[in-house]
Chains A and B, each alone.
Chain A
């Protein structure tokens, strides 16, 4: 019954007027971010972090707002999938398959409503899963020693590319680049200067918030310029909503299955929301078989992937909150927020910062309800903003990123640094080197090195301590599987997802 006690504590935090207000703001901004093509959730949350700082928000309020943004972005991704046939973010791709045909049949409003309800159900199921699973996992994680943590960090990098990732070596390289950047600055335990080249600004290391905003926001701008996608695309008009209760009831079993499956995909390392929505859609198609009209605007084809990807995004919070090891780009950015608030993520957070953790979990439930209420009546507003062409929108977003970074330290040096990271991000993306491991490396680098040192101190310099316990051997094995699996299974899965994508185009 501990959980219920903590949960009520969490609601106490989440329902404070200030937190409630920021949750509402977060939901609104999040939906916008998700809806706008080219402004993914990781990108959007990254731009908002410096602003949350400069506002001087309390840690729980800041985290509640950003979690609301995260949840909202998952809702928003579907709007452009349905109306434009362009997924707002990657996991929303499967929603195009039935959502766009529905919209073309003049049922855009119904598709939007069905997907909002499915998103709500998926998130709700996964949040309940999170509430049940997270405390157990946190308690288990307390048995981890430094060697196990080191292995866990390796596992996180190895599985980050995901089963569908193209080239695991490039994921590894990206992680190494991130970790290398993280070593710049004064070494915390000995005071040795490392790779500072006498530049004063480098003494404290590279601020990962600057790196994240640069890598995501600036490189995105450059990609839009290259693709000359400034004008935007023609959008389908939204009709007045006519949804019957019977129709909502008919998608109910689908959302239930989708939510559970999505949650599992979210918790597991290497799966993530994209795979979550893909699996749920495919499974639903198999289960319903001939009774469904998948691919031609079946409402259940809209509901399944939406429940799946929202379930997965809540599920992805489990490893982030309990182990301090995020499994996706956006949760990595949320982790960045925690680290910069001086909160050490990991199992201890559940006891030391119980109010914060449970406040965030309760806020997820509240935020979901807000999102559902926000998304059905206000869909028109989002559609209006969506019709602003990127050629106006992206420069303004870039400006907001500039203001955010500038307001942290009032130094223009940081701005040049951010631009440099943006150009680097553009080049890395061109070479198909993923950016998320770079960021995760930057974030986890100091923690990883600290654990390595602790382990070696315990063993007095014997490297075999890193794989001396059953648990650590297990973690290493999963890490190795995580690197090998994409080579074996990846091509098959990728081909199937590609086939689905081509049907969209």
Chain B
């Protein structure tokens, strides 16, 4: 069983710890002179703890969990892209349309029939929109539908 995951993550975290420590040394001196414990003390402490933990992880790594291969990995990518696009389109397209797209795509990629997936998206989008706009009086973006 390979143990690369922990070693690589440990290395990344070690770099983070060093950069973070360096960052703490670069804070401008606070107004009114330095105190016993300034804004940099706690971060320095944390950087040391993180550094020790990441060294330990590199020296004594746990066995790897399998990462998803090719197809599943692509599915995960699709899901993440769908979420980003959802956030991107929320305001320009409006809540209902963007929700239909995002929820529908996720349902479909998780194994639902496309039509039923997008229908789930549409229905849930409309219900939540009505609930928020009229029930709670918190307007969600209308986007394209504002024209009417």
Contacts and interface: CB of A to CB of B under 8 A. Distances in A.
Contact of A221 (B6, B79, B95): B79
Interface of A: 54-55, 166-167, 169-170, 172-173, 176-177, 179-180, 183, 187, 189-192, 194-195, 218, 221-222, 224-226, 228, 230-231, 389-392, 394-396, 398-400, 402-403, 406-407, 412, 415-416, 419, 422-423, 430-432, 448-449, 452-453, 456-457, 460-461
Which secondary structure characterizes the binding site on chain A?
A: helix
B31 A190 contact: yes
B37 interface: yes
B75 to A, nearest CB: 6
A416 B86 CA distance: 10
B102 interface: yes
A225 B109 contact: yes
Nearest to B86: A402
Interface string B34-72: 011111011100110110011011000010010110001
Given A187-B39, A228-B111, A402-B86, A412 B106 contact: no
7 contacts: A169-B57, A170-B57, A228-B72, A231-B111, A392-B120, A419-B80, A419-B84
A398 B46 contact: no
A338 B6 CA distance: 35
Contact of A192 (B30, B54, B90): B30
Given A54-B138, A403-B140, A396 B120 contact: yes
Contact of A194 (B43, B111, B128): B43
A226 B86 contact: no
A453 B132 contact: no
A94 B94 CA distance: 46
Contact of B53 (A172, A183, A390, A448): A172
Contacts of A179: 46
A297 to B, nearest CB: 33
A55 to B, nearest CB: 6
B52 to A, nearest CB: 8
Given A167-B62, A400-B128, 10 more contacts: A169-B57, A177-B13, A179-B46, A187-B39, A192-B28, A395-B102, A399-B121, A403-B128, A403-B140, A412-B88
